[in-house]
Amino acid sequence: MGFIFGVVVGIIVGLAIIVGFVRGENSRAAQRSQLATTVAAFARMTVEDSRKILPPQFYPSWVVFSSSQKLSLLLLSTSSSIFSLRCFDDSHFFCYCFQLTWLNSHLTKIWPYVNEAASELIKASVEPILEEYRPVVLAALKFSKFTLGTVAPQFTGVSIIEDGGDGVTMELEMQWDGNPSIILDIKTLLGVALPVQVKNIGFTGVFRLIFKPLVDEFPGFGAVSYSLRQKKKLDFTLKVIGGDISAIPGLYDAIEGAIRDAVEDSITWPVRKVVPILPGDYSDLELKPEGILEVKLVQAKELTNKDIIGKSDPYAVVYIRPLRERMKKSKTINNDLNPIWNEHFEFVVEDVSTQHVTVKVYDSEGLQSSELIGCAQLQLSELQPGKVKDVWLKLVKDLEIQRDTKNRGQVHLELLYCPFGMENSFTNPFAPNYSMTSLEKVLKNANGVESNGNENAVTQKKKEVIIRGVLSVTVISAEDLPATDFMGKSDPFVVLTLKKAETKNKTRVVNDSLNPVWNQTFDFVVEDGLHDMLIVEVWDHDTFGKDYMGRCILTLTRVILEGEYKERFVLDGAKSGFLNLHLKWMPQPIFRDS
C-alpha cells in the first residue's frame, strides 16, 4: 500500500513539475515575442512617431532630424550606433549621440571637393604661424605643396551641449589616418635648401563647434566658432626627399617642435576661430584672457632615482598651454631626490573651466636628452579665486593613464588664481601695482620698466615685487612624533630657518615626550616675503648629537595675503607626526604708499 501511494505521489509531483516548466517556458517565449515586437516597432519608428512619444518641450528648438533618418533608442539597440536623449532639469544639459554612418559616407563622397577647397585655405592660414615658430637654425620654412590626400577622416562620436545660454556647442570626435601630400621647403642659415616631406600622419581628437548667438533669423545662429577641443593623438614623420634629415643634427626635432607649436597655437582650445554667418559684432566670442595664475614651485620629495651612480638631477617644467615660450623651466638641483626650488612663475588663464596647470619633473642628463621622472596636473576649476591653494600632487608616468601604482614621488605647488575684474575683492601681492615703498619703486624702475609717455602703455621687462615685513612664528606643539630613543621616547626641539635670509631660531628641548608643547614665538625680519620660505625642522636631542625627525616647508604667500593663520602641518620625512604653528605677518609701514 505504501509503495503504491509513493508511486502515485511521484507521478503527480513529476507531472506538476513538467506542467510548471512548460508554462514558464511559454510565458518567457511570450515575453520575448512581445519584446521583439516592441523592438521592431521602435526600429520602424520615424521622427514624427518619436515626437508623439517625446513631446516637443523635450527637444531643443534648434534640433531638426531629416525625415529619411530612422530613430532607435539606446536601451533597445544591440549592434549599432544610435541616438539617445538625456534631460536634466537642473543643469539643462542635453547630450545627443546619433548614428554617424550616413555622415561618414557623405563626407567620403564630397572629400575630393573638400580637399581642393580646404588645402589652399589651410596652407594660407598655417604658413604665417609656421613662420612665427620657425626654428632659429632655419632661414625659411614654407609649404611647397599641400594637399589633404584621398582618405577622408571618420567621425566616431558626436555630442551636443546646450548650456542654457544663448549658444549651442557641438563636439565631433574624429579619427584620420590620412595620405596627404605635404612638402615643406626649408632653407638653412647656410643657404642649403631641403624639401622635407610630412608623412604617416595619424590624428585622433575632438573638434568643438560653438553656434552663438542663437537668433530668430535663418540659419538660427549668428556665428560659428571652431577649435580643436582635445588632441588625443598627433603622429607624423619627416623625411628629406633624396636625403637624410639626420645629417643635420637637431633639425628633425626643431621642425617637429615648430609644427606642434603651430598646431597648438593656431587651433587648439581655448584658441578658437570665429566665422561670422550673419552681419554683426562677434568680438565677444574671440579668445580673451580671464585672469592670472601665480604658481610657486616649492619642492618635490621621494623622486625616482634615474641615475645608476649617484642620484637624479631634477628640474621641473610648468605650463598651462604647451607652447615653448609659455613653458617655464626651473633650475636644476644636482644629486637630490628631495629638491627645494622655491621658484615663482606666472601664467595667463584663458578658460578657467577647462584649462589645467601641468608639471613635469625631469632628470637632467647634461648634453643628452633629459629623462622624465613623472608628471602631474591640476584643474584650474578647483581653485578658489583669491585664495592660496597649497597642494601636493602625485607624479605619474603618463597623464592620459592614471593607473600608475609605482611611487614616482610628489611635487609641492602653491597656487593663486586672480581673475580680471576682481581687483577690489582681494589683493594680488605679485601684481606690479601692489603697494611698495619708495625704495622698492626705485629698485623696480631700475630693473627695466619703460614708459613711452602714455600711462596706460607701460612695458615691463622684468617684474620683481619686493615685500618687506616681520614674520612672527609661534611654535605651539607637536603630536604623535616618532620615538627615536631606546626607551620609546624622544627629546624634541624645533629649528626654524628663513631660507633666503639664512636666519635661524630654535625652541627649547622638551625631554621624554612624543607630544611636546613649546608655545614659543620667534620674529623674523623678512626682506623679500614673496620669494622667501620658512623651513621648520624637528630634531631629537641626544647627549652626543641630534637625530633628524622631519620637517615642514612653508612659503609666505598665504600669511601675506591673510595676515595670520593657524595650521596643523604634517611632518615630511617622518613616519608620523604633526606640528602646530601660528603665523602672523606685520608689513613694513614706513614710507609705504598706497
Across 56-60, 84-88, 139-143, 325-329, which has the greatest mean pLDDT?
325-329
In three-state form (DSSP H/G/I as H, E/B as E, the rest C), the secondary structure along 271-297 is: CCEEEECCCCCCHHHCCCCCEEEEEEE
Q: What is the pLDDT of residue 578?
A: 93
pLDDT for residue 437 is more than 50: no
> At residue 85, does pLDDT exceed 50?
no
Average pLDDT in the chain:
77
What is the pLDDT at residue 435?
45
Q: What is the pLDDT of residues 35-77, one digit of tens each?
A: 877 777 766 666 566 666 666 556 554 454 443 333 333 323 3
Helix (H) or strand (E) holding 101: helix 101-132
pLDDT at 426 over 60: no
For residues 422-446, give the mean pLDDT: 50
Give the range among 81-90, 235-244, 566-575 with minimum mean pLDDT. 81-90
Identify whether 289 is preceded by a cis peptide bond (ω within 30 of 0).
no
pLDDT the model gives residue 136: 75
State the Cα angle at 411 between 405 and 412, rounded to 5°: 140
Would you place residue 376 in the very low, low, confident or very high pLDDT band (cuts 50, 70, 90)?
A: very high
Per-residue confidence band for 542, with pLDDT thresholds at 50, 70 and 90: confident
CA–CA dist 530, 468 (Å, integer): 9
% of the chain beyond a pLDDT of 70: 77
* Mean pLDDT of the 558-569 span: 88
As a whole number of angstroms, the distance between CA 42 and CA 481 comes to 68
Question: 443 pLDDT band (50/70/90 cuts)?
Answer: very low
pLDDT beyond 90 at 353: no
The yes-or-no verdict on residue 105 having pLDDT over 70 is yes
pTM over 0.85: no
Residue linked to cell 591640476: 378
| Predicted pLDDT at 404 | 65
Q: Is the pLDDT of residue 93 over 70?
A: no
Q: Distance between alpha carbon 346 and the CA centroid of its chain, in Å?
A: 16
What's the pLDDT at 203?
Answer: 86
**Structure confidence at residue 142 (pLDDT):** 84
pLDDT value of residue 495: 94
Confidence band for 245, pLDDT divided at 50, 70 and 90: low
Each residue's pLDDT tens digit, 176-192: 888 888 888 888 777 77
Residue 305 and residue 337 in contact, taking contact as beta carbons nearer than 8 Å: yes
* Alpha-carbon torsion angle 561, 564, 568, 573, nearest 10: 60
The mean pLDDT value for 399-428 works out to: 76
pLDDT, residue 431, reads: 62
The alpha helices in 410-528, defined as continuous H runs, are 438-446
Interatomic CA distance for residues 385 and 291, integer angstroms: 10
Least confident piece of the model among 93-97, 431-435, 508-512: 93-97
What confidence score (pLDDT) does residue 537 get? 93
Q: Residue 409 pLDDT more than 80?
A: yes
57-66, 356-365, 416-425, range with the lowest pLDDT: 57-66
Higher pLDDT, 124 or 339: 339
pLDDT, tens digit (0-9, with 9 covering 90-100), for 253-304: 777 777 877 777 777 888 888 888 888 888 888 888 889 999 999 999 989 8
Place of cell 625659411: 140
pLDDT for 432: 55
- Out of 170-174, 230-234, 278-282, 296-300, pick the least confident: 230-234
Q: Is the pLDDT of residue 89 over 60?
A: no
Q: Which of 15-19, 72-76, 110-114, 214-218 has the least mean pLDDT?
A: 72-76
Question: So what's the pLDDT on residue 319?
Answer: 92
Query: What pLDDT score was predicted for residue 64?
Result: 46
For residues 307 and 310, what is the distance between their CA atoms, to the nearest angstrom? 6
The 10s digit of each residue's pLDDT in 111-167 is: 888 888 788 877 887 788 777 777 777 888 888 888 888 888 888 888 877 666 678
β-strand partners of 210:
169, 225
Q: How many CB atoms lie within 10 A of CB 80?
A: 8
